[in-house]
């Protein structure tokens, strides 16, 4: 099967992502930040929206559902089980709820659901193992990670470690364009990391040209995302935390980023 993927900006710094499977003629939106922006791309491509998979309950990921359902009444909505009551209070009817280890079909392929609590307590991500694709919502960003709003900080470290253990070639789509600020922060933590220096220069050029810096890959994140590197001796010494538990090193970095 051939998957076509369209990524486009929504709202101020969100991404919309549409997947289209030409064999089954199905089209999937990962989250629904903005109905108008998503409809514009669907129209331009000549695609009919058939599925929406939600990663977490935040308004900038679910507020487009109602508008899209008005245009595509048959669209099937899949929600994270731990947040389905909260989300359906906003969007109404839904079709399926998923949790850790579930598989969701899309045309001839399927995605595996991983629970990644931290940014929200019931956040899920979708992994297409065959196609090497990860839709990470607001858990993992290019060069960074989501704010930890609903769990203790070490829970987010566990969630990020799950994603970091996926194959390096997996392409990662995220909910927001935050790469520039993330890499600047990363370099302040790990100034000797040549790969962060190089990536920051590339990202500055992309942003200056008004271009997106995503998707990224798990391999690039392992090398340049300090939030996945809390077990690195260079980072631990820079924070005066040599030999510390990586979860506490992660927590220290996340707290510093919150104040940055
Ligand atoms: Zn969010």
Opening angle at CA 39, ends 38 and 44, nearest 5: 105
Q: How far is the CA of 23 from the centre of ligand 1 (A)?
A: 32
Considering the chain, what percentage of its residues have pLDDT values greater than 70? 100
Q: Which of these three, 64, 99, 134, is where a domain ends?
A: 99
Q: How far is the CA of 125 from the centre of ligand 1 (A)?
A: 12
When the pLDDT of each residue in the chain is averaged and rounded to a whole number, the result is: 97
- Determine, yes or no, domain membership for 108: no
Residue 8, beta-bridge partner list: 16
Q: How far is the CA of 56 from the centre of ligand 1 (A)?
A: 7
- Determine, yes or no, domain membership for 142: yes
Query: Could you tell me the pTM of the whole model?
Result: 0.97
Q: What is the pLDDT of residue 135?
A: 98
- Check whether residue 137 and residue 92 sit in a common domain: no
3-state SS class at 14 = strand
Q: How far is the CA of 192 from the centre of ligand 1 (A)?
A: 31
Tell whether the model's pLDDT for residue 2 goes beyond 90: no
Q: What is the pLDDT of residue 173?
A: 98
Number of domains in the chain: 2
- Check whether residue 25 and residue 135 sit in a common domain: no
Q: What is the pLDDT of residue 260?
A: 85
- Determine, yes or no, domain membership for 107: no
| CA–CA distance, 155 with 139 (Å, rounded to integer) | 11
CATH number where 234 lies: 3.60.15.10
Q: What is the pLDDT of residue 87?
A: 98
- Determine, yes or no, domain membership for 109: no
- Check whether residue 242 and residue 167 sit in a common domain: yes
State which residues form the domain around 49.
Answer: 1-99
Opening angle at CA 193, ends 187 and 197, nearest 5: 60
- The answer to whether the CB of 109 falls within 8 A of the CB of 22 is no
Tell whether the model's pLDDT for residue 1 goes beyond 80: no
Closest CA to 55 of 127, 109, 6, 5: 127
Mind listing the pLDDT tens digit for each residue in 106-153? 998 999 999 999 999 999 999 999 999 999 999 999 999 999 999 999
Q: How far is the CA of 120 from the centre of ligand 1 (A)?
A: 7
Q: How far is the CA of 230 from the centre of ligand 1 (A)?
A: 23
């Amino acid at each position: 099967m051939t998957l076509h993927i369209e990524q486009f900006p929504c709202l101020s710094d969100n991404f919309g992502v549409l997947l289209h499977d030409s064999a089954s003629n199905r089209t999937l939106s990962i989250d629904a930040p903005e109905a108008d922006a998503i409809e514009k791309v669907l129209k331009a491509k000549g695609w009919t929206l058939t599925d929406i998979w939600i990663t977490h309950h935040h308004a900038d990921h679910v507020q487009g559902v109602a508008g899209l359902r008005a245009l595509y009444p048959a669209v099937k909505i899949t929600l994270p089980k731990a947040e389905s009551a909260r989300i359906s209070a906003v969007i109404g009817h839904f079709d399926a709820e998923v949790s850790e280890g579930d598989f969701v079909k899309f045309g001839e392929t399927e995605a595996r659901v991983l629970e990644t609590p931290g940014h929200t307590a019931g956040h899920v991500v979708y992994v297409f193992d065959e196609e090497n694709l990860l839709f990470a919502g607001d858990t993992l960003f290019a060069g960074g990670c989501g704010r930890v709003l609903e769990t203790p900080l070490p829970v987010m470290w566990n969630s990020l470690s799950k994603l970091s253990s996926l194959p390096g070639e997996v392409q990662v789509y995220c909910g927001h364009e935050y790469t520039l600020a993330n890499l600047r922060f990363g370099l302040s933590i790990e100034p000797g990391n040549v790969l962060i220096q190089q990536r920051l220069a590339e990202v500055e050029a992309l942003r200056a040209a008004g271009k997106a810096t995503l998707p990224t890959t798990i391999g690039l994140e392992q090398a340049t995302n300090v939030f996945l590197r809390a077990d690195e001796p260079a980072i631990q010494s820079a924070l005066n935390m040599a030999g510390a538990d990586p979860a506490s090193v992660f927590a220290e970095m996340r707290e510093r980023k919150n104040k940055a």
